[in-house]
Amino acid sequence: SGVKGARMCWEVTLFRDQIVLRYLVILIGWPPGTPFQDFSKRGAPSFAQMRELIKLMETGKLYFAKATSAQLRVARMDASGISP
């Protein structure tokens, strides 16, 4: 991300508060059907899904982008409206 000390949050409300609203970004390219949660918890993405996430990041298809004011309004109203 280029932000020293930045850490990812996997719980939807924390993701909104600590990532989206703090850094004013959204996550683009998260694959449908891949759970958005801590990889160490039960129900987390499978090994194949994690490999796909890495591939998407390496090819620039999974990335953070500057959020629009409309996206930030949605995030403030409902955390699930902005999560991947």
Domain assignment present for 6:
no
pLDDT, one tens digit per residue, over 1-51 is 577 888 888 888 999 999 999 999 999 999 998 888 877 777 678 889 989
Supply the pLDDT for residue 74.
95
Total count of domains within the chain: 1
Tokens, residue 20 = 């989206």
Residue 2 falls within a domain, yes or no? no
Domain hosting residue 73, numbered range: 12-79
Answer yes or no: is 84 within a domain: no
Write down the pLDDT at residue 1.
59
What's the rounded Cα separation, in Å, for the pair 65 and 75? 14
Residue 3 lies in a domain: no
Residue 25 falls within a domain, yes or no?
yes
For 44-69, what is each residue's pLDDT tens digit? 788 899 899 999 999 999 999 999 99
